[in-house]
Amino acid sequence: MTGLRHLPQKIAVRAVSTRCSFVLATYLGVGNCNAASLRQGLSHVDKTVEIVILAMIAAFLGLRLYSVLGRRAEHEEEVIQGPRPADTPRVAAGESADRSPAPVRMPVAGVTPAIERGLREIAAVDRRFDITAFLEGAKGAYRMVLEAFWKGDKETLGELCDQDVYEGFAAAIAAREAAGETMDNRLVRIEEAVIVSAAYEAPMARITVRFAADIAAVTRNAEGQVVAGSLDDAVEARDLWTFSRNVTAASPDWLLDETDEA
């Protein structure tokens, strides 16, 4: 501020008349200026003084802006860094923190209380058990087993059946081949697949399904002549197939455990 008190003397030496600096007139209130005198005086004022004063004013304004905007930005950053209510994980009422799978919903329409009890017991020990998926898989297995038996495909039968059932199919295939006969059968449709029993005896789960299907069946001799059946007339087949699974096994597959006529 000492330098500023000497500015009027310096200006008086440079401009004895009423000419003055625009900066001094505007910010310091020095001189009695009008627009014409300002334009004439600007060329005679010490440029160094004006630059210094402008720099001081710019620095002052910059500090004021930083003090306002800088603190505001820091405050907003702190707010943003905090946890948002929408980002906080929520656990629904009754839902455990480990998100264990919900049990299979029962009851199943059209089953007796005994069947429902058996299905509940299976679902309690096998968290992957799903009644709809099981029935779809059972129908697929029914088709695959029949077609493998008709073709004499023992490898596929070994994958879908347990040992006892496989041996029964294998013996029938061997007898057919010994007689020189082949089967030219076709599964037209599966009319129904209904669960008729379900039970769990650790570690085995067993479910019996009643199938009703239309099958066009033909048996040919070694010469290829039809000795039984007709492809034009489908016959209704009704079977009881029991599927079993060791619930402690890693594989989710059910195997054909028993076959019978319905």
Domain that holds residue 135: 113-261
Question: What are the structure tokens assigned to 67, written together?
Answer: 């003090």
Element (H, E) at 135: helix 131-151
Same domain for 127 and 208? yes
> Residue 16 — pLDDT band, cuts 50, 70, 90?
very low
Gap between the Cα atoms of 178 and 195, Å rounded? 37
**At which of 31, 51, 77 does a domain end?**
77
One domain, residues 42 and 119: no
CA 148-153-159 angle, 5° bins: 80
Identify the residue with better confidence: 12 or 179: 179
Whether 70 and 123 map to the same domain: the answer is no
Would 21 be classed as within a structural domain? yes
User: Both 33 and 134 in a single domain?
Assistant: no
pLDDT at 82 over 60: no
- Give the pLDDT band (50/70/90) at residue 6: very low
Question: Does residue 231 share a domain with residue 160?
Answer: yes
What confidence score (pLDDT) does residue 88 get? 32
Do 143 and 69 share a structural domain? no
Assess if residue 95 is contained within a domain: no
**118 class by beta-carbon count within 10 Å (0-12 exposed, 13-18 middle, 19+ buried):** buried
Residue 24 in contact with residue 8, Cβ under 8 Å?
no
Asked if 173 and 152 touch (Cβ cutoff 8 Å), the reply is: yes
pTM for this entry: 0.60
For the beta carbon of residue 57, count every other beta carbon within 10 angstroms.
12
Domain identity same for 147 and 18: no
Q: Give the pair of three-digit tokens for residue 20.
A: 């003055």
Contacts of 8 (CB under 8 A, 6+ apart): 30
Q: What's the chain's average pLDDT?
A: 77
- Could you give the number of structural domains in the chain? 2
Q: Are residues 131 and 254 in the same domain?
A: yes
147 or 42, which is more confident?
A: 147
